[in-house]
Structure 1
Amino acid sequence: MIDPAALKTMGTLARSNAKRRPDVMVHEFEGRITTFAQFDRFTDQVANGLQALGAKNVAYWGKNSDVAFELFIGTCKAGGFFGPLNWRLAPAEIGQILERFVPDVLAVGPEFLDAVEQIRGQLPEGVTIIAAEGGSEKHPSYFDWRDGQPAEFTGDLGEPDDVCLVLFTSGTTGLPKGVMLSHANLLGQRTLMSEAGMNYDTMDDDAVMLVCMPFAHIGGIGVWCLSFANCAKAIITREFNPLEALDLFINRGVSHAFLVPAALQFIVRTPQAQAADFSHVKNIAYGAAPMPVPLLEECLTVFGCDFCQCYGMTETTGTISLLPPEDHRARDPRRLSSAGKALPGSKIKIIDADGNELPIGEIGEIAILSGNNMAGYYNNPEATAKTKDAEGWVRSGDAGYMDADGYLYIHDRIKDMIVSGGENVYPAEVESALYAHPAISEAAVIGVPDDKWGEAVKAVVTVKEGHTLDPVDVINFVRTRLAHFKCPKTVDVIEAMPRNASGKLLKRELRAPYWEGQSRQVN
């Protein structure tokens, strides 16, 4: 259960949990179990180590790990900024982020120690590189570094409104922006939910949270924070694997989880899931991409537990609108296609291009006012001003409408962002890579329905005169320049791009044939 008095800062929470349940497991990772008391001591050591280095910014380049969470809370205690990196990005893209974030310490997982050498020229001068899960010839071991520090850290240098976490989310130009989140952003909603009697994020002492979504996403680190706020147990997996997740549900007592729709689809369509006993599962939250109603019906039937739909964005610290279990139990297809209602302390409105609020039922851009809204983008005031206005309203970039009961419905995307398997892909970045191909004259990238990933990236191109083009060659060409999840799954060649009278490319016309029969322009 959540202790409201402890929800001041992440450091305060760590100390409270250590006193309340010292010998209980905070999390398990690949057989390594850490208790709340050990975790508090380890994060004290991290804070002392950072202070000894004079470190402010700490970056983590790796897959999910218990080490990542120790670094996060230790950085919070030391009053610094923690920035986990999306390991699916190409090394050059990681380098671009680090050039802007300028970390004092870079902790690197075992899979990426060799890749660090590829971006040496992009690393800030004097950065301390630590091997996150064991030493190497070039870099010290995290465990040796941590255990060489004093075991107690006096005080807590963080205040509720201080930024402690920077999550990097792709922009329309492809250069990731650092979303700055505070302790209050991460913890404040817990208090508001409790005061409103909404128990959807309250966990009993015997609860077990599955943390398998990427740590560099709010859906990964946010779920761990929820478990930590409840002083509950968590099982961390290095990355999502449907058979591993299913085994943890069945055999390890996992009672709570957050999963993107694609991950849920992988699990429920595994043959073993059909006969599994999920009676101990209490609640599954889902979000980060739209959930097709037929898939949701299938998940409700297979798991037989409570479900919550979570709509939000990194800039709102995740969930800002919730479709609660009672709406799922009713099985009303109309309600199941909704993103629910605004959470306590938050307001949602639909606006036009000029920021004017639109009437009920009219489609426009979704805007949010909340204590969960980001402080801004790291070292990027121009981008901040475009997303967050003087009153604190954040433009989501999503199109939708509200009904008379206050339910939000997502209709389309204002920006051309594609969501594939919970990962955001921005067409402009992919188009830029395509234009470098010697045979491509013009390129447009769109999202098309995909039964596995929700949406798949499709490239539509025209060919330069006198050239021929092999779609497989185009896909391989882009893969040398971008992370694989951003690369086109398919390439279509057309004679000419559709344009309006002023020459503007009409992407809606390109998308239309692939979305015929779909009720929404998101999948």
Structure 2
Amino acid sequence: MVDLSFTIATLARRGLLSPGSPTKVMRQLAALRRFGYGLGGELRSAAARDPDRLVIIDDRKLPAPPDGSAGPMPGRLTYGELLARAERLAAALHGACGVEPTDRIGLMCRNHGGLIEGMTAASLLGADAVLVNTGLSPAQLAVVAQEQQLRILIHDSEFAEHAVALPRRVERLDESGVEDVLATAPAGNARRPDREGRTIVLTSGTTGAPKGARRRTPAGFAPLASIISRIPVYARSRMLIAAPVFHTWGLAALQVGLALRATIVLQRRFEPADALSAVIEHECTSMFAVPVMLQRLLDTPPRPTPLRVVAVSGSALPGGLATRFMDAYGDVLYNLYGSTEASWASIATPEDLRRAPTTAGRPPHGTRIAIVSQAGREMAEGQTGRIFVGNEMLFEGYTNGAGRETLDGLLATGDLGHLDSEGLLFVDGREDDMIVSGGENVFPAAVENLLAGLPQIREVAVVGVPDPEFGQRLAAWIALVPGEVLDPAAVREYVRRHLARFAVPRDVRFVPALPRNATGKVVPRDLPWDGA
């Protein structure tokens, strides 16, 4: 557990304990005591301390408030304005739409302030916010709405056709609909909800239907201190959240940003040139992204930026990507390894990544990691085993009532990994990704990392496929850098020179790009395969 002295020292080092107006500081602390550390409490606290500070910069053009006062600047919201809109939306959802604290509010939105308002309104109301992946098909959305028992769906206008597929009992509000109910909504109040709402994040669903994971509400500043002790982001700074906020990592970035009373820059879609322009124009010193975004940034001519931190999570860093990115943008890269269920397990700093570009780093203060065998025995240094993690933000279980395996208070991540002599964690692959080929255990991730280091390869995926003789074998799908040439025999020979014979992929296929979901993870079931 994170001790109080460590938390206080970390918050002070990151500028959160700087002196301020005694009245505002007292209001800030009172908001936290009364409303807690969920999104609603965080926003009330930040608005009490810094009501006029910009909280969101996005592309929206908001109408003037119904009371006739001057509206927010286009694409800008202060903490006070965001709180006022979230309070009115909570009142409208309850009054006009009949949403109760026991209900679930679905949110199918890209990165913009409307998503933040909807999530915060749910928190203020005491309802559960279900963050819906924008990559779902209409049929998948209908399944999610049924399984999560959505009362209402707030969605971007572009997803209107998706919303048509919903059961009739599920109300729908698009962006213009939200503005309509806000125009007639009464001002919010400071009533504490009768129940504490939860944020429900859907698992990525690369191998099946996504499950809803109930996120734990922080009990204090200790979880924040754990993260920012290793990732140096500061109070009142500006950050670009490029990772989807409906994903665990984007949500974590939002929670960090609100706690730091930062200004959060949001773009509906990630385009590398636009992201760099936003970082420069708005003087962002940090960016939160997923690894595939780093590759896309490297495909764009680099530009000098004020970035001091580029923090990534959500999938493994392919071999060589960390080094190439830091060579282009400086030693600013931080890699957090975690999951929807475990939150975080370890964080790699630029120094760690220079030493070992594929490492997942070390557990931050207050986090425990164990590498154990199938029988639960602790593995020795360098030996691969199952990864278990413990921290203050382990999820509360799936909404269908299922949980995850635990061991001595630690949660199974579903990954296999090992620790080296310096205590650095390496993730060797998913437990269900490991294949047995001719009696040998083979980890596709090791082959992926090796091939990703070749300068001709832009991205690569290696997975196990059925084999009539050996049970399973490896197959590789490769997207080349434009203008580069490789042939399957050269790929196989390269692997044969560096890894064991049974790690050589018999099948090597070249594709224009790998199929990925909205969070940047490769979707194996969508890789072209004829079963040969």
- Correspondence 1:290-305 to 2 at 5 A: 290-305=316-331
State the identity %. Answer: 22
Helix, strand or coil: the match of 1:235? Answer: strand
How far did residue 67 of structure 1 move? 0.6
Would you say the 8 A contact 2:462–2:476 is kept in 1? no
- 2:405 is equivalent to residue 388 of structure 1: yes
Q: Pick from 183, 197, 203: which aligns with 1:147?
A: 183
Partner of 1:64: 111
1:417-474 Cα deviation digits (max 9, x unpaired): 9999xxxx9999x99xxxxxxxxxx99996645568xxxxxxxxxxxxxxxxxx99xx
What is the RMSD computed on CA atoms of the aligned residues?
A: 3.5
Task: State the Cα distance separating 1:259 from its structure 2 match.
Answer: 1.8
2:225 paired with 1:200: no
CA apart distance, 1:487: 5.4
Q: What's the counterpart of residue 199 of structure 2?
A: 165
Given that 1:255 and 1:282 are in contact with CA atoms closer than 8 Å, whether structure 2 keeps it comes out as: yes
Amino acid at match of 1:217: H
Alpha-carbon distance between aligned partners in 2 of 1:185 and 1:257, rounded to the nearest angstrom: 26
For 2:220 and 2:143, the matched residues in 1 are separated by 26
Change (3 A) 1:8 1:449: same
Cα distance, 1:185 vs. partner? 7.7
1:286-324 Cα deviation digits (max 9, x unpaired): 22222234221221122124221111011122x320112
CA distance, structure 2, for counterparts of residue 218 and residue 158 of structure 1? 26
Tell me what 1:218 maps to: 248
Q: CA deviation at 1:27?
A: 0.6
In 1, distance between residues paired with 2:271 and 2:529? 28
In structure 2, relative to structure 1, the CA distance for the partners of 1:172 and 1:364 (3 Å cut) is: farther
Deviation at 1:98, TM superposition (A): 1.1
Q: Which residue of 2 aligns with 1:16?
A: 45
Over 3 Å counting, the alpha-carbon distance change for 1:413 and 1:25 in structure 2 is same
Q: What residue is the counterpart of 2:399 in the other structure?
A: 378
Structure 2 partner of 1:156:
192
Decide whether aligned partners of structure 1 residues 296 and 325 sit closer, same or farther in structure 2, where only a CA change above 3 A counts: closer
Deviations 1:75-112 (A, max 9, x none): 11211211111111221111111111011111121111
User: Aligned to 1:184, which of 218, 222, 239?
Assistant: 218
Give the TM-score of the pair, scaled to structure 1: 0.73
Counterpart of 2:425, as a letter, is L
Q: How far apart are 1:157 and its partner, in Å? A: 2.4
Which deviates more, 287-296 or 60-69? 287-296
Q: Distance in 1 between matches of 2:42 and 2:336?
A: 24
SS in 2 for 1:26: strand
Matched with 1:47 is 90
2:358 is aligned with 1:337 = yes
Structure 1 residue 347 displacement after superposition: 0.7
1:152 maps to amino acid: G
- 1:312 corresponds in structure 2 to 338
Classify the secondary structure of the residue corresponding to 2:382.
Answer: coil
Give the structure 1 partner of residue 121 of structure 2. Answer: 74
- 1:59 CA drift (Å): 0.3
Partner in structure 1 of residue 284 of structure 2 = 254
| Deviation of 1:364 (Å) | 0.9
Structure-2 residue corresponding to 1:408: 425
In 2: Cα distance, 1:185 partner to 1:413 partner: 31
Partner of 2:502: none
Q: 172-181 or 227-236, which moves further after superposition? A: 172-181
Shift of 1:326: 3.9
Counterpart in 1 of 2:133? 86
* Matched residue, 2:258: 228
Q: Taking structure 1 as reference, are residues 185 and 219 closer, same or farther at Cα in structure 2, changes over 3 Å only?
A: farther
CA contact (8 A) 2:386 2:415 kept: yes
Tell me if structure 1 keeps the 8 A contact 2:314–2:338: yes
Cα distance in 2 for partners of 1:185, 1:259 equals: 26
Label 1:447 to 1:316 Cα distance change in 2 as closer, same or farther (>3 A): farther
Deviates more, 1:50-59 or 1:79-88: 50-59
Give me the TM-score of the superposition, normalised by structure 2: 0.72
Aligned to 1:267: 297
* Paired position in structure 1 for 2:499: none
Q: Whole-Å Cα distance in 1 between the matches of residues 412 and 272 of structure 2?
A: 34
Q: Return closer, same or farther for 1:352/1:169 CA change in 2, 3 Å cut-off.
A: same
1:146-204 CA deviation, whole Å, 9 max, x = no partner? 33222222233287xx551111114586121111102218964114457xxx2624314
Residues 106 and 153 in structure 2, CA contact (< 8 A), matched pair in contact too: yes
Alpha-carbon distance between aligned partners in 2 of 1:445 and 1:69, rounded to the nearest angstrom: 42
Alpha carbons 1:416, 1:426 under 8 Å: kept? no
Give the whole-Å Cα distance in 2 for the aligned partners of 1:374 and 1:314. 8
